[in-house]
């Protein structure tokens, strides 16, 4: 949250070390440091942060691919609150709608998205399916009041609900 730990010096050092060790980096950025996160695996701003940084404001699709290219990110995912997520992978673009049944509190939804995406990605799941699962997980935590972690049990429950 721009408290100073992740600053231009530390960001570049972390990215360089990760590249040398062939470790992926998953970023939930703040606008102030957008352009510092080059060559990361996943770059995941929310829509308002994305729009604040991408001043041209042509279309989400066009601006998204431009940002992805400028950052040389493998994947760009823009979280759009109740509208779901927009995913940019290679030359593919996907709009993934939210699947929450009843939203009580959005606290922790963005953290749930990136954490769920990262674990699925690290386990070898493709970016589209990792995004679908992370979107379901975020919808599930929004059904609770306060910050609640996603659990295997709650994921199983949401999968069975949306699979039927």
Helix residue ranges per DSSP H, the chain:
8-20, 47-53, 60-71, 109-122, 127-141, 152-163
Q: Which of 3, 84, 72 has the alpha carbon at shortest distance from 40?
A: 72
User: With contact defined as beta carbons under 8 Å apart, do 89 and 75 qualify?
Assistant: yes
Coil, helix or strand at residue 112 = helix
Asked about 74 being catalytic, the answer comes back as no
Q: Report d(CA 156, CA 152) in Å as an integer.
A: 6
Q: Report d(CA 124, CA 107) in Å as an integer.
A: 28
Q: Report d(CA 110, CA 102) in Å as an integer.
A: 17
Which of 35, 39, 92, 111 is the catalytic position? 111
Catalytic residue set: 111
């Amino acid at each position: 949250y721009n408290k100073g730990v992740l600053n231009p010096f530390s960001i570049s050092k972390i990215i360089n070390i990760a590249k040398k060790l062939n470790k992926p980096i998953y970023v939930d950025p703040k606008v102030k440091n957008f352009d510092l996160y080059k060559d990361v695996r996943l770059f995941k701003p929310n829509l308002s942060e994305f729009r604040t940084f991408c001043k041209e404001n042509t279309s989400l699709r066009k601006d998204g691919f431009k940002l992805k290219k400028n950052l040389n990110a493998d994947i760009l995912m823009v979280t759009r609150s109740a509208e779901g997520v927009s995913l940019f992978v290679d030359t593919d673009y996907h709009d993934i709608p939210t699947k929450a049944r009843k939203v009580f509190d959005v606290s922790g939804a963005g953290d749930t998205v990136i954490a769920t995406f990262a674990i699925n990605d690290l386990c070898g799941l493709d970016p589209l399916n990792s995004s679908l699962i992370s979107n379901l997980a975020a919808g599930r935590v929004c059904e609770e009041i306060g910050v609640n972690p996603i659990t295997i049990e709650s994921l199983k429950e949401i999968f069975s609900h949306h699979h039927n």
